[in-house]
Amino acid sequence: MLHLFAEPSAQQGELLTITGGDVNHIKNVLRMRPGEEISVSNGVDAREYRYGIEEIGEEQILLRLRFVKEADTELPVCVTLFQGIPKADKMEWIVQKCVELGVSEIVPVAMERCVVKLDEKKRGRRAERWQSIAEAAAKQSRRGILPAVREPMTMQEAVQYAAAMEVKLLPYELAENTPGTRELIERIEPGSRVAVFIGPEGGFAPEEVRMAQEAGVLPVTLGRRILRTETAGMTVLSWLIYTQEIR
């Protein structure tokens, strides 16, 4: 079933008007007809709204509400991924797959060892591109919320942004002897806000790790192997799916 996101303000009583690129997709790609059903989320309240197609026009499609149900596609914890900006198109892959796995928010972080350096103009364009990828992934995976991709931050700004979150983790290859990583993950309570810091290809600089630790971020291990930057965040999310959803 097709899943879309719509602004809450567009939901007028039982009616919803679809405009923009979704019109072409519904009308000419999927060739849907009046009476067929569409799943809609407003990206805010994690509910699933089921609409039937009422009318198909040239530039808009009118939907009528059939029923509402609580969505069950969200992780019980709210995960913010602080991702060291990688080179090439790796960030697009990270955004897509982490949204599919349930991340709530992604913050690109310009760390010391990042190869890519973004100027002000590129920062805005990249953030818009990453947000569009997040929206497409959220539609595909039928997310109840639309994860936000923030504009890039410095490591210091990221640590400050994460300060109020209940759990703060930093997978680090030099944390291989850190005890209790498994127990730490398993003790995370549903409803917690979880910050996950992932380094770029060159890893974290020692000063960045010290800064994070001083702010209460805990270095953890992801196992005996060194993971790529595009793999590490997905590994943490997979663990959280297992500990939070697989009972």
**136 close to 101: Cβ distance less than 8 angstroms:** no
Is residue 246's pLDDT more than 80?
no
Spans of all domains in the chain: 3-70, 78-245
Tell me the sheet residues that pair with 16. 11, 63
Tell me the sheet residues that pair with 103. none
Instruction: Quote the CA–CA distance of 153 and 145 in Å, as a whole number.
Output: 23
Average pLDDT over residues 130-157: 94
In CATH terms, the fold of domain 78-245 is Alpha/beta knot (3.40.1280)
Percent of the chain with pLDDT over 90: 66
At 149-191, the pLDDT tens digits run 999 999 999 999 999 999 999 998 877 555 578 888 889 999 9
DSSP class of 232: H
The CATH H-level superfamily of 3-70 is Hypothetical PUA domain-like; domain 1 (2.40.240.20)
